[in-house]
Amino acid sequence: MFDYNQIRNFYDRHRSDHSDDPDFLRGTIETSKGIVRFRNRAEARHLSRVLQVERGQRVLDLGAGTGRWSIFFAERGAQVTAIELAPSLAAGAANNARSRGLPLDCRVGSIIDPPLKADESFDIIHIGNVLLYIHDADLARVRDVVNSHIAPNGLLVVREPVDPHGPSERHEDGYSAVYRRPEIYVQLFADEFRLLYERTSVSHLIPRGKSTQSVVTDLRSARWKKPLVEHVLPLVGYVDYELLQIEEFLRSSPLRGILGDSGIVLRFYIFKRGR
């Protein structure tokens, strides 16, 4: 059973050393700005290709962290409400939006019981890197929240780390997460939503037998290699969508043997309300 207070306190602790750099908005424990900037650029460019945000749309960001995706939507003219469990991350989201002159309605609370009025509805609901911290028994409560607050024909955007061979769990000091199989999130929302889009969001063109994490760790371990992570890797984010297409081609071809198992991957889902 996950302890949600423990998760909140974990992120509150790590927030104390967290930067408000424009590209560093994840509320993450990752210390490398290069890695964060790469992921930010790759994921934002991917989402921009497959989701059109219209000015004036109402967006609910559940588990907003320090506001990376709230700001993504607000920059496109949406009216954004951000819900975040950890008070320090919620304050960071408000500060990040304010520093950019963007309006953001930021509230502290859990996504399984968010501080929302019964009549509040949204054209887009976004959930990103949050469900891995939710116990299986509470996933239905998240679904009920979404169903209660999404507008007719509204869109649900889910971004979650998944394990194609899972489920698998990770337990560290003050940190627990579960990486479910990709189809679990499709099944979770299947009764009320139609799946429009599903795809891994970041390429994993890694030599066979290597994981993304081990490659990055190796690069950062040597002084002369570290600039590759901090300065070159972020530039790859601009073309990662194209690299993803190359990876998908290789994984579906006889050449797939040159790639190792990508392991845990981040998955994008876009659902539309109504069958």
pLDDT of residue 229: 78
For residue 219, being part of any structural domain is answered with: no
Indicate if the pLDDT at residue 2 is higher than 90. Answer: no
The Cα–Cα gap between 201 and 192 comes to 24
Range of the domain at 168: 4-204+262-273
Indicate if the pLDDT at residue 159 is higher than 90. Answer: yes
Domains in the chain, number = 1
Indicate if the pLDDT at residue 191 is higher than 70. Answer: yes
CATH number of the structural domain spanning residue 168 = 3.40.50.150
Phi/psi at 70 (5° precision): -60, -45
For residue 46, being part of any structural domain is answered with: yes
Look up tokens 């409400």; give the residue: 81
For residue 136, being part of any structural domain is answered with: yes
pLDDT of residue 203: 85
Residue 206: pLDDT band by 50, 70, 90 thresholds?
low
Total count of residues recorded for the chain = 275
pLDDT of residue 15: 61
List, in order, residues 6 or more apart from 261 with CB less than 8 Å away.
165
Query: Is pLDDT larger for residue 61 or for residue 260?
Result: 61
For residue 254, being part of any structural domain is answered with: no
For residue 211, being part of any structural domain is answered with: no
pLDDT of residue 119: 96
For residue 83, being part of any structural domain is answered with: yes
Residue 210 burial by CB count (10 A; 0-12/13-18/19+): exposed, middle or buried? middle
Indicate if the pLDDT at residue 29 is higher than 70. Answer: no
For residue 187, being part of any structural domain is answered with: yes
Indicate if the pLDDT at residue 168 is higher than 70. Answer: yes
Dihedral sign, CA of 261, 241, 127, 186? negative
The Cα–Cα gap between 86 and 240 comes to 31
Q: Which of 12-21, 48-57, 64-73 has the weakest average pLDDT?
A: 12-21
Indicate if the pLDDT at residue 16 is higher than 70. Answer: no
pLDDT of residue 208: 46
pLDDT of residue 233: 84
% of the chain beyond a pLDDT of 70: 84
pLDDT of residue 166: 87
Indicate if the pLDDT at residue 87 is higher than 50. Answer: yes
Average pLDDT over residues 128-156: 95
